[in-house]
Amino acid sequence: MRKHQFSVGLLTEMDPAAHTSSSHEGTSRTLGLNRNRGEVVELRLRTDAYDGYRDYRTIRRTLCHELAHNVHGPHDRAFWDLCHQIEREVDAADWTSGGHTVGQDEFAPERGVEEDEVMDHGGWAGGEFVLGGGGGSSSSGSGGGRSNGGAEPLSRREILARAAEERIRNLEKANRSDEGGGSGETHEGSQS
């Protein structure tokens, strides 16, 4: 942001119910808005069902898109060039990725005009991602991934039940190791 001298007065979460419209062609979801060239930037962080968060990379790309609107309003060539430049800079600064280097130069693949047209269509639209759902994209809008051998996605109740069972197993394992070592500590659920 310093390099481009971007200024954002207020960065806030967009209500998932706002800026969603349905038609015979499907449901359109605006993932971000930039008002007055950065005075207010809104990002859609949560899924439409309020049961999880959207994929981090989608949110990050949406932020780059909205920052490009600080300089260029319409989605023209200059806008997309700046948007892709910001995305490359953010990717290069991401400490979680090892980056791709060829010799001493950094490499970020260029995207073509066709991809811009496919991605845009009047605004960003994305799938839903449910926390703990496996990270898979869901074009049907049902959210979540498959963590039970490729069958239907787990219900919220099943996920919570499995998490509770895992906590009980971990507690029992910790209690068994404490009985052998005699540390004298008490753990949740044990009586002393």
54 by DSSP, 3-state: which?
coil
Map tokens 């099943």 to a residue: 158
**Annotated catalytic residue, options 66, 128, 179, 185:** 66
Task: Report DSSP state, residue 110.
Answer: -
Tokens of 114: 């066709």
Tokens of 167: 């906590």
Q: DSSP of 1-43, one letter per residue?
A: -TTTT---SEEEEPPTTTTEEEETTEEEE--EEEETTTTEEEE
Q: Which residue type is seen at 14? A: M
Tokens of 52: 């999880």
Buried b (16+ CB within 10 A) or exposed e, 73-107: eebeeebbebbbebbbeebeeeeeeeeeeeeeeee
Task: Report DSSP state, residue 153.
Answer: P
Query: 66 an active-site residue?
Result: yes
What are the catalytic residues?
66
